[in-house]
A and B are shown apart, each in its own frame.
Chain A
């Protein structure tokens, strides 16, 4: 039904990616909760990504240049946004 060895490696890869994303998510949650500059940027990014239709449904890529411009126009420091 399946190749146990291949599945084993595949599961490890999935777990590695999940562990990295969990670490990133916890970091983002920490920055938001302590109300740091990074946390404020993250909240605005979440809002913009959710409310603006800048997502390419074919590639699932987001227009980063547009996002950066929006954040800088909001008043965030460009270096901090980068």
Chain B
């Protein structure tokens, strides 16, 4: 029970609840740990559980007909996925695996409406999923309008918004990300991403210190990349 309370009460979406309401909510929760690389669900599996990321990172991806892994999203603490669970008799349309040691809280389809009974919680969930949709729309627009260098910059700017930490050097993107990870996110080859990063470093927009990406403070950068 103590593990369950710690799991649900610390999630951002339940922040508006009173301690008594959080206690009710914990009874609906089940916490699960995953080791790095473990698969949470696969495409085609029955969708009957909603997941909330408590810590760690989860990759949503599909495998193309050619056998290539296509990244769709990287989820972090407080993100929700498996939301299609609210429909009956549906199956997952993508795969989910963990990128780091990850702890998720789960809720069954039958219990999910009970979570929605508190309007503040329902609104937080709606807000979270709405932001996710905006995020995907921005990504698609970036792919439609921007070249690889522009997409790399847009992706780093988006990651800075989600994982950014202000430092004297610039905004540190506080997740471990290699060139291949970035290539998967921007839909380009690793070689093109490496070349683009080289240009961006020369232009003074991006830096790498101790294997973390930094967006450097620049008035031009704020105008060019889609972040505030």
Contact = CB atoms under 8 A, between A and B. Distances in A.
B60 A19 contact: no
A33 interface: yes
26 contacts: A7-B122, A8-B122, A11-B126, A12-B86, A12-B113, A12-B116, A15-B125, A15-B129, A16-B86, A18-B126, A19-B87, A19-B129, A21-B133, A22-B136, A25-B137, A26-B136, A28-B140, A29-B140, A32-B140, A32-B144, A33-B72, A34-B70, A46-B140, A46-B145, A47-B144, A50-B141
Query: By DSSP majority rule, is chain B's interface helix, strand, loop, or mixed?
Result: helix
A2 interface: yes
Contacts of B64: 34
A69 B62 CA distance: 31
Interface of A: 2, 4, 7-8, 11-12, 14-16, 18-19, 21-23, 25-30, 32-35, 42-44, 46-47, 50
B108 interface: no
Interface of B: 60, 62, 64, 68, 70-73, 83-84, 86-87, 93-94, 113, 116-117, 119, 122-123, 125-126, 129-130, 132-133, 136-137, 139-141, 143-145, 187
A18 B133 contact: yes
Given A7-B119, A25-B136, A18 B130 contact: yes
A21 B135 CA distance: 12
Contacts of B130: 18
